[in-house]
Amino acid sequence: MPRFNEDQKKIALLLLNEPKTEEDMNKQLNIPYDKLTQELKALLKLGVITKEGYPTKYRLKQEIVDKIQQRKEISEQDSFKMRLNAIIEFKAIEAELLKKHMKEITAALKKEKAFTIYDVREAEIIEDDDDMESSFLEVNLSVMDFRALIKFLFYYGPTSIEVLKPNKIELSNFEFQDGLMELAEIFQKYANFFTKHLNQEELTKFYKSAYK
């Protein structure tokens, strides 16, 4: 689902229930005409809205309406307080391998009991400068607690993450310690793996790189 700026969000929400003319939107949203026209053009270009009839009315595309309604229904059943939007990047030597890996990660995310998945959007596959096929998943989800957030960060490796809510969060000593224990356990697994699979020279190079 496209990312909206604040004025675009207002326009999209206004069009959620019925089409509106530019004049209607100007009156109801109090957005200046020139700014409103600019944002409508941007939304048309994004493929979020359409225009029809005379006088011209703007309509939110049905697929966007359905997506908003789906998220609303999930939200009503979701007890997790921490909501995120994250990007997980992928690379592979072949497009088919990349598609397979992305589908496996999507399936794994949806099986996690500590996550509530609102949406997973698969981006177009492109060839990058290294002659590798690359793409990303944009994941909108909530996580049960701090421990679940740590798990998401380390096992799914998002390259960027946006906290959608709450604006402020407080953790009890137990929650904070629980998350730190999860983090320590992950680090220990990595340390054990490196010790078993790297020779002394390789380990030395790794530690020098890590602790610069």
How confident is the prediction along the chain (212 residues), in pLDDT tens digits per residue? 556 788 998 999 999 889 999 999 999 998 899 999 999 999 999 889 999 999 999 999 998 889 888 988 999 999 999 999 999 999 999 999 999 999 999 999 999 999 999 999 999 999 887 788 999 999 999 999 999 999 999 999 999 999 999 999 889 999 999 999 988 988 888 777 777 767 777 667 765 665 55
Q: What is the pLDDT of residue 210?
A: 55
Please report, in angstroms and rounded to a whole number, the separation of the first and last CA atoms in the chain.
40
What are the DSSP E strand ranges found in the chain? Answer: 20-21, 49-52, 57-60, 82-92, 115-122, 126-127, 133-143, 160-165
pTM, two decimal places: 0.74
Q: What is the pLDDT of residue 201?
A: 75
Distances (CA, A) of 173 to 4, 10, 80, 178: 37, 39, 19, 8
Q: How far apart are CA 189 and CA 208, in angstroms?
A: 20
Q: How far apart are CA 100 and CA 115, in angstroms?
A: 22
For 125, which DSSP code?
P
